[in-house]
C-alpha cells in the first residue's frame, strides 16, 4: 500500500495529442516516456523518485495496453542490469532510482552497460537528493557520469523542458550508442505546471518480439579484447556523436541580455535555472518570464560539456560566474581548462564566491550574484530598472534559537518497542556493539534510544558487523548485533549479510524488522508483504528464506508491542551458548500504513451510523510521579508533558495527547521496566447503541455514588 495513490492522476496520461496536460513533474516524466515509445520500465523506489514508481504501478493497465513491460526491481542493480535489453535490440528502456545511494548499488551494471554501449535508447532517471535536507551522504551523480562516460541531462525545472528533455535523451542515447542519466532534483519531481501533449506511442518492438527474434553481437559483450575496443570507441565515435547531436539539437540554451551587455555572463546547471532567475529578479536583472539583463548559458547537458559553445559564450566576456551545485567543482575545472587551451582570458568565478558544498537555494545564489556583480564592477545594469521587486525579507536567524528536530519514529510505530526492549536488555546485561541499516530502524540511533554505531548501506548491517562476528570464545564475551528492515533484507541483506554469516559461522545476532512494507520509501509492497497484490507475488516468508540459506537458530514474534516477549528473545540470543548466527524476526504492521487503510473505513462507518469502538491510552495525573522514565524508554510523539492539577507539584508529569493510536507500547514498556501503573486505556464509542448508553449511565451512577460517599467521609 503506497503512501499516495495516483490512480486518478494516471487517467490523465491517456489525454489525446494537442491538449494541455496539467500535473506535477513526476507525471510529466511518465507521459514523456509513453510519448517516446518506451518498451520497458523498471526501477527501485527512493526519495525524491518514489512517487515515479508509484505512478508506474498505478498506470499498469495503461502500460499493458501499450505493450510496455513494467517491473518493480529488487534493487537498483537489478534495474540497471535490466537496461541490457537495449544492448542487442533497438528497444527503448527507462529505469529509475534515488541517487547517489542507488547509483552506488547500480554502478557495476552501469559500467558494463556504458562499456558495451546500447543500440536502443537507455534512460536512467535519477532522483537527485542533495543538500542539508538530504537523507543520504553528500555526493554527486556527475562523478558517475564522468567515470563511466554516461551523458548527464539536467533539464530546466519546468514541465515543457522536462518532457522535451526526456524525449531528446532517448534520441541522444541512440545517436551516440550511450546510456543517458536524466537528473531530476526534488523541486523538478514535485513542481506543477502544464505542457502540450503528443500521442502515446506503442513501442516499435516489444519485449516479446525480442524474445522471438534473439540477437547476439560478440563485439558488444564486455570481454577482452572487446572491452579495450569499447574504450577507444567511447572517445573516437560515441563522444563526438553525442557532441554533434547536442549542438545540432540546441539542447543547451542561451538567453541573451535584453540590455546588449556582453561583458559579463553566467553559466548555470539547468536544474538550478529557476533559482538563478529568481535571484536575478530580486536584483532587478530579470523578470518572471526570464527576460534577463545578463547573458546566461544554461547547461541542460552538464556532461559532456560542449567546447565550442563555451568558447563562443566566453570569448567576449570579461567576467563569467559558474553556478555549479555540489563538490568537487567538476564543471568549473573543465570550463577553466577549455578556456585556457583556447587562450581566452575571461575571469572565472565559481566556488570562490559561492559555497563549496550544500544546496544552492535562491538566497544562496543571490548572495553569490551580488559578490559577482561587485567584483566585476558591473554598474551599468544595476542602475537600469524597468520594475522594482521587493527583496526577500528574512528575520535574523541564530542556530541557538532553533530547537532541534531530529527524525523519529511515527506515532504507534511497531519498531519503537523493539528498541525499547533492546535498551532494557542492555541495561541489564551490558552494552553491545550494534550496526544499523538504512530504513526506519535507523532512527534508533537518535534519542531516546541511542542505539547503533554504524550504517553502511541498504541491507548491509550484518556485513557491517562481520569483523566482530567471532571475536570472543569466553563465556562472558559479548555478541555483535545487526538490525535491518524487511526492505533491506530483500534488497541486499539475505545474500551479503545472512548468507555470508552462515558461510563464515558468525556468532552474531541479526534482527530483521518486518513491518510488511518498504515503509521508509512510502509503503510500497515487498516480497514478504502480507497483502494480496494482483500484479506481484507477495506473502513470501522471511523465515523460510533464512532457513533455506542454513540458519538454525531462529526466533519470531508477530507482535512487536509485546515488550516482555522481546526482552526474553533478546536475552536468550545474547546469552545462549549455541554458536552460529542467531536470527530474530520481529513482525508487526507499519502503523502509518495501517492507519491509511483503516481510517477511511472507520470514517465511512461513522458516517453510516455504524457502532465504532476506538481506543486511546492516557496517564492518570494523580498517580504519575513525573520521573519521565516512560518517555525515555518510549519516545512516542503522542507521549508528552503537562502540569499537574495539584498546585503543590511543580514538576511536569506525563500526558498522552489525542494523536495516540492505542498501540499500547507505552504501557507495555512501563510494565516491563517496572515503572508505574499510571497508564490506562479508555474506550470511545461512536454511534453507541442502547446497551452502551445504559452501561455508561449505570457506571456513572456508581462512580458518582462512590465519590459522594468519599466526600461525606472526608468532610464529616
Average pLDDT over residues 501-523: 91
Average pLDDT over residues 675-700: 86
| pLDDT the model gives residue 398 | 54
In terms of phi and psi (left: phi > 0; alpha: psi -120 to 50; beta: otherwise), the region of 83 is: alpha
pLDDT digits (tens, 9 = 90+) for 416-468: 999 999 999 999 999 999 999 988 999 898 888 889 888 888 888 998 888 88
- Residue with the bigger pLDDT between 312 and 7: it is 312
Query: Which residue in the block uniquely carries the three cell numbers 473505513?
Result: 601
| pLDDT the model gives residue 389 | 43
Grid cell listed for 692? 452502551
How many CB atoms are closer than 10 A to CB 582? 25
**Closest among 667, 681, 678, 668 to 623, alpha carbons compared:** 678
Q: Does the pLDDT of residue 385 top 50, yes or no?
A: no
| Contact assessment for residue 449 and residue 483, using Cβ atoms and an 8 Å cutoff | no
Exposure b/e, 539-548, CB count within 10 A at least 16 = b: eeebbebbee
| Contact assessment for residue 135 and residue 47, using Cβ atoms and an 8 Å cutoff | yes
Average pLDDT over residues 382-405: 50
DSSP 509-555: EEEEEE-SSBGGGT-B--TT-SS--TTS-----HHHHHHHTT--EEE
Domains of the chain: 9-205+213-248 (3.40.50.970), 253-383 (3.40.50.920), 416-593 (3.40.50.970), 611-715 (3.30.70)
Give the global pTM: 0.84
pLDDT mean across residues, the chain: 88
| Contact assessment for residue 495 and residue 78, using Cβ atoms and an 8 Å cutoff | no
**Closest among 466, 481, 503 to 423, alpha carbons compared:** 481
Average pLDDT over residues 88-92: 96
pLDDT band at 92 (very low <50, low <70, confident <90, very high): very high
Q: Does the pLDDT of residue 397 top 60, yes or no?
A: no
Of 132-136, 180-184, 640-644, 705-709, the range with the lowest mean pLDDT is 132-136
By the 10 Å C-beta count (0-12 exposed, 13-18 middle, 19+ buried), 666 is classed as buried
| pLDDT the model gives residue 383 | 42
Q: Does the pLDDT of residue 388 top 70, yes or no?
A: no
pLDDT band at 715 (very low <50, low <70, confident <90, very high): low
pLDDT digits (tens, 9 = 90+) for 268-324: 999 999 999 999 999 899 998 889 999 999 999 999 999 999 999 999 999 999 999
| pLDDT the model gives residue 434 | 93
Report helix, strand or coil for 653.
strand
* Exposure on the CB side of residue 505, measured as CA atoms within 13 A: 3
Among positive and negative, which fits the CA dihedral 511, 514, 515, 521?
positive
- 301/376 Cα distance (integer angstroms): 27
* Exposure on the CB side of residue 76, measured as CA atoms within 13 A: 26
pLDDT digits (tens, 9 = 90+) for 16-72: 999 999 999 999 999 999 999 999 999 998 888 888 888 998 998 999 999 999 999
Q: Does the pLDDT of residue 142 top 50, yes or no?
A: yes
| Beta-bridge partner residues of 301 | 153
Q: Does the pLDDT of residue 540 top 90, yes or no?
A: yes
- What distances in angstroms separate CA 333 from CA 130, 276, 328, 330, 340, one per listed residue? 20, 21, 9, 5, 11
| pLDDT the model gives residue 473 | 57
Grid cell listed for 348? 572565472
| pLDDT the model gives residue 396 | 54
| Contact assessment for residue 420 and residue 633, using Cβ atoms and an 8 Å cutoff | yes
pLDDT band at 107 (very low <50, low <70, confident <90, very high): very high
| Beta-bridge partner residues of 347 | 319
pLDDT digits (tens, 9 = 90+) for 223-256: 888 888 999 999 999 999 999 999 999 999 999 9
Q: What angle do CA 70, 65, 54 make, to 5 degrees?
A: 40
DSSP 205-223: S-HHHHHHS----GGGS--
Strands 639-642 and 69-72: unpaired
Amino acid at each position: 500500500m503506497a503512501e499516495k495513490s495516483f490512480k486518478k492522476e494516471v487517467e490523465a496520461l491517456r489525454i489525446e495529442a494537442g491538449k494541455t496536460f496539467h500535473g506535477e513533474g513526476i507525471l510529466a516524466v511518465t507521459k514523456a516516456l509513453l510519448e517516446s515509445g518506451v518498451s520497458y520500465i523498471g526501477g527501485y523506489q527512493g526519495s525524491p523518485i518514489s512517487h515515479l514508481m508509484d505512478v508506474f504501478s498505478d498506470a499498469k493497465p495503461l502500460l499493458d495496453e501499450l505493450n510496455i513491460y513494467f517491473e518493480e526491481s529488487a534493487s537498483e542493480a537489478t534495474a540497471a542490469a535490466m537496461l541490457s535489453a537495449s544492448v542487442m535490440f533497438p528497444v527503448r528502456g527507462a529505469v529509475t532510482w534515488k541517487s547517489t545511494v542507488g547509483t552506488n548499488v547500480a554502478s557495476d551494471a552501469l559500467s558494463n552497460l556504458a562499456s558495451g554501449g546500447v543500440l536502443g535508447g537507455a534512460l536512467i532517471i535519477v532522483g537527485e537528493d542533495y543538500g542539508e535536507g538530504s537523507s543520504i551522504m553528500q555526493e554527486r551523480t556527475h562523478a558517475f557520469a564522468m567515470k563511466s562516460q554516461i551523458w548527464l541531462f539536467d533539464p530546466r525545472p519546468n514541465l515543457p523542458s522536462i518532457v522535451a528533455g526526456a524525449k531528446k535523451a532517448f534520441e541522444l542515447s541512440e545517436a551516440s550508442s550511450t546510456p543517458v542519466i536524466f537528473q531530476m532534483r526534488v523541486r523538478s519531481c514535485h513542481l506543477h505546471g502544464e505542457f502540450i501533449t503528443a500521442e502515446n506511442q506503442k513501442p516499435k518492438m516489444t519485449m516479446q518480439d525480442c524474445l522471438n527474434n534473439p540477437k547476439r553481437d560478440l563485439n558488444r559483450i564486455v570481454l577482452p579484447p572487446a572491452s579495450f575496443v569499447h574504450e577507444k570507441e567511447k572517445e573516437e565515435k560515441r563522444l563526438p556523436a553525442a557532441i554533434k547531436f547536442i549542438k545540432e539539437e540546441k539542447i543547451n540554451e542561451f538567453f541573451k541580455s535584453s540590455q546588449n551587455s556582453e561583458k559579463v555572463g553566467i553559466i548555470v546547471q539547468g536544474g538550478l535555472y529557476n533559482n538563478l532567475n529568481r535571484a536575478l529578479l530580486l536584483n532587478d536583472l530579470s523578470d518572471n518570464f526570464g527576460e534577463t539583463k545578463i547573458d546566461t548559458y544554461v547547461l541542460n547537458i552538464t556532461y559532456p560539456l560542449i567546447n565550442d559553445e563555451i568558447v563562443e559564450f566566453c570569448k567576449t566576456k570579461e567576467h563569467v560566474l559558474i553556478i555549479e551545485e555540489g563538490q568537487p567543482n567538476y564543471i568549473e575545472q573543465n570550463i577553466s581548462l577549455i578556456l585556457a587551451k583556447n587562450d581566452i582570458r575571461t575571469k572565472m568565478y565559481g566556488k570562490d564566491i559561492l559555497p563549496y558544498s550544500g544546496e544552492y537555494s535562491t538566497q544562496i545564489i543571490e548572495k553569490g550574484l551580488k559578490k559577482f556583480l561587485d567584483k566585476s564592477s558591473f554598474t551599468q545594469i544595476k542602475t537600469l530598472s524597468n520594475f522594482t521587486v521587493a527583496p526577500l525579507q528574512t528575520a535574523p536567524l541564530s542556530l541557538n534559537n532553533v530547537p532541534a528536530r531530529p527524525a523519529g519514529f511515527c506515532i504507534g510505530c511497531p519498531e519503537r518497542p523493539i528498541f525499547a526492549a533492546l535498551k532494557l536488555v542492555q541495561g541489564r546485561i551490558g552494552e553491545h556493539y550494534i550496526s544499523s541499516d538504512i530504513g526506519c530502524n535507523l532512527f534508533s540511533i537518535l534519542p531516546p534510544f541511542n542505539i547503533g554505531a554504524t550504517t553502511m548501506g541498504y541491507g548491509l548491517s550484518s556485513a557491517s558487523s562481520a569483523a566482530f562476528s567471532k571475536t570472543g570464545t569466553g563465556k562472558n564475551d559479548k555478541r555483535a548485533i545487526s538490525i535491518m528492515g524487511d526492505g533491506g533484507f530483500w534488497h541486499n541483506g539475505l545474500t551479503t549479510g545472512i548468507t555470508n554469516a552462515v558461510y563464515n559461522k558468525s556468532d552474531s545476532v541479526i534482527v530483521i524488522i518486518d513491518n510488511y512494507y518498504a515503509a521508509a520509501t512510502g509503503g510500497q509492497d515487498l516480497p514478504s508483504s502480507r497483502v494480496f497484490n494482483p500484479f506481484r507475488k507477495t506473502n513470501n516468508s522471511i523465515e523460510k528464506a533464512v532457513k533455506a540459506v542454513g540458519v538454525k537458530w531462529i526466533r519470531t514474534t508477530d507482535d512487536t508491542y509485546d515488550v516482555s516477549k522481546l526482552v526474553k528473545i533478546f536475552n536468550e540470543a545474547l546469552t545462549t551458548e549455541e554458536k552460529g548466527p542467531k536470527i530474530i524476526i520481529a513482525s508487526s504492521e507499519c502503523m502509518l500504513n495501517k492507519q491509511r487503510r483503516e481510517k477511511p473505513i472507520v470514517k465511512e462507518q461513522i458516517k453510516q451510523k455504524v457502532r465504532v469502538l476506538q481506543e486511546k491510552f492516557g496517564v492518570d495525573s494523580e498517580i504519575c510521579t513525573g520521573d519521565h522514565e516512560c518517555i525515555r524508554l518510549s519516545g512516542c510523539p503522542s507521549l508528552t508533558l503537562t502540569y499537574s492539577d495539584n498546585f503543590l507539584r511543580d514538576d511536569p508529569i506525563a500526558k498522552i495527547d489525542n494523536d495516540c493510536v492505542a498501540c499500547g507500547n507505552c504501557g507495555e514498556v512501563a510494565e516491563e521496566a517496572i515503572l508505574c501503573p499510571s497508564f490506562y486505556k479508555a474506550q470511545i464509542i461512536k454511534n453507541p447503541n442502547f446497551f452502551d448508553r445504559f452501561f455508561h449511565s449505570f457506571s456513572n451512577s456508581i462512580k458518582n455514588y462512590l465519590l459522594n460517599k468519599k466526600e461525606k467521609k472526608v468532610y464529616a
